[in-house]
């Protein structure tokens, strides 16, 4: 059997800021997949991405991108990485045409044709100062840049936040096309879980600097469930199966971590599949709340 190659390997990475600590996080992103990196604001998503790209120095641990040790070969590895931030970082006086000139002198594999094709597709003017662009246009410009140097890995930090649904849909479509190529991988940090429902293969969930959940998206959704029961039935349900609980006027709603087991153990209870958002909320609100 052919072993799965990983585009990203993060091993026991630690970063201590004093008031916040990224605590020995470990996860892999298989090549050819879309990995949704989720967590609430301040959970450590951006810090992890910055450590991954070697933009910030880690305190401990190892990070490999396409087998390259990022603490030693980060500059070379970044040829293969396209990065999209939540804010456009280009100076406002630059036009898309200027950016093309700059980038073709930075990236060895810069493809001018691809860049201008994306500009056309996104309806971005090439001679207008990017400071005059709307948020959606700025995001599209960043994506065009990230996709125009034959990157194999796309790392994005909240690329769709603050965008209207039409632009978001358009951008997700581009990501889908990107991963059609077998060796293309995406690490997408977001807290908009509906985007991940559409596009992600893998999910890594970070909370307060710790990885609390990771795995195949479909398996995670398959495994978790929302069990609804009356308040007096709660005591019959094993605590080991419950991730979190919430009271409402009809009874109690539990996020359970083994839907199949629950269905066998409590056949009379209503158990529905959980969404990524419910799973995320459940783990964030854990320990169980009343």
Partner 1 sequence: MRGLIIKDLMSFRKRLAIVVFVTVAVLIMAVMFSISAKSGNLYQMTIPGPDTTEQEAEYAKEVMSFAFMVLMILPMGAVGDTAKNMLFEDRKSGFTAVASVTPLTVRQRVLSKIITICGLYLAGAVLSIVISSLVSLFTDLVTFRQLFAVVTIGFSICLIYTFLMFDIGIILNGSEMYSETFALMIILLAIFGMNIKNIISLIKAGDNFASVIIEQAKNVTAVVLDRSYVFFIIACVLGVISYFVTVAVAAKKREVI
In the complex, what is the shortest distance from the CB of residue 233 to partner 1, in angstroms, rounded to a whole number?
52
Tell the smallest beta-carbon distance from residue 216 to partner 1 (Å): 28
Residue with tokens 């109690």: 252
13 contacts 61 by C-beta, under 8 angstroms: yes
Cβ nearer to partner 1, comparing 79 with 277: 79
Q: Is the peptide bond before 287 cis (omega within 30 degrees of 0)?
A: yes
Q: Could you give the CA distance from residue 235 to residue 13 in angstroms, rounded to a whole number? A: 39
Q: Which residues contact 112 (CB under 8 A, 6 or more apart)?
A: 100, 104, 148
Chain contacts with partner 1 (rule: CB under 8 A): 50, 53, 55-57, 75-76, 78-79, 81, 83, 85, 87-94, 98, 101-108
Nearer to partner 1, 55 or 60 (CB): 55
Give the nearest distance from C-beta 101 to partner 1 in angstroms: 6
Q: Which is nearer to partner 1, 78 or 259 (CB)?
A: 78
What minimum distance in Å lies between the beta carbon of 10 and partner 1? 17
Q: 136 or 225, CB closer to partner 1? A: 136
Smaller CB separation from partner 1, 91 or 238: 91
> Nearer to partner 1 by C-beta: 104 or 210?
104
Strand (E) positions, the chain?
A: 6-16, 21-30, 34-38, 60-65, 68-69, 81-84, 153-157, 185-190, 202-207, 210-216, 225-229, 242-248, 251-256, 270-273
Number of residues that make up the chain: 290
- Least CB distance from residue 146 to partner 1, whole Å? 9
Q: How far apart are CA 205 and CA 228, in angstroms?
A: 24
Minimal distance, residue 99 CB to partner 1, in Å: 9
User: How far is Cα 200 from Cα 78, in angstroms, rounded to an integer?
Assistant: 23
């Amino acid at each position: 059997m052919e072993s799965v190659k990983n585009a990203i390997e993060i091993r026991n990475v630690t970063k201590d800021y004093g008031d916040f600590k990224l605590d020995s996080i470990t996860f892999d992103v298989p090549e050819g997949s879309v990995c949704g990196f989720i967590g609430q604001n301040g959970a450590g998503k951006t810090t992890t991405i910055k450590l991954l790209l070697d933009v910030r120095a880690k305190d401990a641990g190892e990070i490999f991108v396409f087998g390259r040790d990022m603490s030693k070969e980060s500059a070379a590895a970044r040829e293969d990485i396209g990065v999209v931030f939540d804010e456009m970082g280009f100076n406002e006086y630059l036009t898309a045409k200027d950016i093309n000139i700059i980038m073709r002198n930075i990236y060895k594999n810069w493809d001018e044709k691809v860049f201008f094709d994306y500009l056309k597709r996104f309806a971005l003017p090439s001679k207008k100062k990017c400071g005059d662009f709307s948020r959606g246009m700025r995001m599209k410009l960043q994506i065009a840049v990230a996709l125009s140097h034959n990157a194999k890995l796309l790392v994005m930090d909240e690329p769709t936040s603050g965008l209207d649904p039409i632009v978001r849909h358009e951008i997700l479509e581009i990501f889908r096309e990107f991963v059609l190529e077998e060796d293309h991988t995406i690490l997408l940090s977001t807290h908009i879980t509906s985007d991940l429902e559409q596009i992600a293969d893998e999910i890594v969930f970070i909370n307060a600097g710790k990885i609390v959940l990771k795995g195949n998206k479909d398996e995670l959704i398959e495994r978790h469930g929302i069990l609804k029961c009356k308040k007096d039935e709660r005591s019959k349900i094993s605590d080991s199966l419950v991730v979190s609980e919430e009271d409402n006027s009809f009874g109690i709603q539990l996020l359970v971590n083994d839907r199949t087991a629950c269905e066998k153990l409590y056949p009379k209870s209503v158990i529905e599949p959980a969404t990524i958002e419910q799973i995320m909320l459940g783990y964030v609100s854990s320990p169980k709340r009343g």
